[in-house]
Amino acid sequence: MILGLIRNIGQASLSFMAAVGKISLFTFAAVRWSVAPPFYGHQLGRQILDIGFFSLPVVGLTTLFSGMVLALQSYTGFARFSAEDTVATVVVLSVTRELGPVLAGLMVAGRIGASMAAEIGTMRVTDQIDALDTLSTRPMQYLVAPRLVAGTLCLPLLVLIGDIIGVLGGYLVGVYQLNFNPSLYLSRTLQYLEFSDITLGLVKAAVFGFLIALMGCYHGYHSGRGAEGVGVATTNAVVSSSILILIANYLVTALFFG
């Protein structure tokens, strides 16, 4: 019984290490081919449109309502020790440092991570990746590199826009529901906001964007055979990128802390 348990733990950690190794190699190759010519501008453009532009509604709605609820909740809390005027500051700091990047990251992980894994996975199981390879095109450069670059570039932009919308959500609730003075709320918003708060959020976003694209591509690229394989790849891409986002969020925050 105990031996079986030990064996299971052993096997699990071995396969975990193997997966880590495989992902590291994949990451290394992907980054290497992202910086070597030829560059497929058309592919990059398509990905930027898909990740950056078409994710705007999802990210906008998420941050809008998060900003709104944040204003309400922090008001409830801070009213208990008469610190209501900190609401604007709490909203802007939470949104830029934390909620903007994490929520946008998780939403995009669901949207883009899944679609990348499904698209590349389908190409894998229908031999399109093999066909690319035999037609003088490196799949890493044609498929993976544009997605990685687009993910890393687009997420910060999305988060920047999401930050603004989130703060706007807080403002709307603050002014129209909690009856703050509009100009006072705005000045409170900007008063304690530091440039580093925004950069922290954007650095996080870039890391998240990279991770989402990496997981989407990795799982799609190594998709199992058949439609079932693609389904598993899609789920794995979303789950693993979401978890990695939460872990990276802590690591980046800790790195910039103090």
Partner 1 sequence: MLKNPSKIEISHLAKTFGSKVVLRDISLSIPAGQSLCIIGTSGCGKSVTLKCLLGLIAPDSGSIKIDGKETVSQSRTHREEMLRRFGMTFQFGALFDSLPIWQNITFRLRQNTYMSRQKAREAAADIVVHLGLEARVIDQYPAELSGGMQKRVALARAIADKPEILLFDEPTSGLDPITGGVIDNLILNSVRRLGATALTISHDMASVRRIADQVAMIHKGRVIWSGPSTQMFDSGIAEVEQFVHGHAQGPLTDEAILAAKTGV
Residue numbers at the binding site for partner 1 (CB under 8 A): 122-123, 126-128, 130-137
Smallest gap from Cβ 132 to partner 1, in A, equals: 8
Complex with partner 1: residue 173 or 217, whichever CB lies closer:
217
Cis peptide, bond prior to residue 37, ω within 30 of zero: no
Cβ closer to partner 1: 84 or 133?
133
Judged by beta carbon, residue 130 or residue 194, the one nearer partner 1 is 130
Closest distance to partner 1 from the beta carbon of 119 (Å): 8
**Integer Cα distance of 228 and 208 in angstroms:** 27
What is the smallest separation between the CB atom of 27 and partner 1, expressed in angstroms? 19
Instruction: With beta carbons less than 8 A apart as the criterion, state whether 103 and 55 touch.
Output: no
Output the smallest distance, CB 151 to partner 1, in A.
18
Nearer to partner 1, 89 or 128 (CB): 128
Rounded least distance, CB 127 to partner 1, Å: 4
- For every residue of the chain, DSSP letters joined together read -HHHHHHHHHHHHHHHHHHHHHHHHHHHHHHHHHSSS---HHHHHHHHIIIIITTHHHHHHHHHHHHHHHHHHHHHHHHTTT-GGGHHHHHHHHIIIIIHHHHHHHHHIIIIIHHHHHHHHHHHHTTHHHHHHHTT--HIIIIIHHHHHHHHHHHHHHHHHHHHHHHHHHHHHHHHTS---HHHHHHHHHHT--HHHHHHHHHHHHHHHHHHHHHHHHHHHT--SHHHHHHHHHHHHHHHHHHHHHHHHHHHHHHH--
The least CB distance from residue 38 to partner 1, in Å, is 8
Report the half-sphere exposure of 48 (CA within 13 A, side-chain side). 11
CB of 180 to partner 1, least distance (A): 50
Nearer to partner 1, 97 or 222 (CB): 222
Q: Kindly tell me which of 38 and 258 has the beta carbon lying closer to partner 1.
A: 38
- In terms of CB distance, is 46 or 56 closer to partner 1? 46
